[in-house]
Amino acid sequence: MKFNILVNEGPYTHQASDSAYQFAKAAVNAGHEVIRVFFYHDGVYNANRLSAPSVDDRDVVNQWVRFADEYEIDLAVCVTASLKRGILSDQSALRYGKNVDNIEKKFQVAGVGYFIEGSIIADRTIVFGD
């Protein structure tokens, strides 16, 4: 089965990101395919490379990066949601006159159409968060 995953919540304020990560990992380990993981609303905070959790806490951003690298999973953040929340690619930072970009390079910036495309390709779309 092919899954498209939508994450709507940030990594440290809600269980949604952890649940999405555990689901995605279990799915690929069971032989299923994860087409992509799309981060929307506060879920875009999962791509913030400047987050610095304490050593005794999980590093959600790096969990997603390691997962995507290991299984060749596509990670995407909504362009509009990320701009509103200050999650900027190098191109966005330059365009809007900001002095730093903070999106983890493994994540790509995309429009909602990219999420919809994933839903068309996938057998199921699973949503985590409100």
**So which residues are the catalytic ones?**
78
3-state SS, residue 8: coil
Angle between the N-to-C axes of helices 60-71 and 16-29, in degrees from 0 to 180, rounded to the nearest 10:
20
Provide the sign of the torsion angle of the four alpha carbons 108, 105, 68, 56, taken in this order: negative
Chain centre to alpha carbon of residue 87: 12
Provide the sign of the torsion angle of the four alpha carbons 12, 17, 23, 28, taken in this order: negative
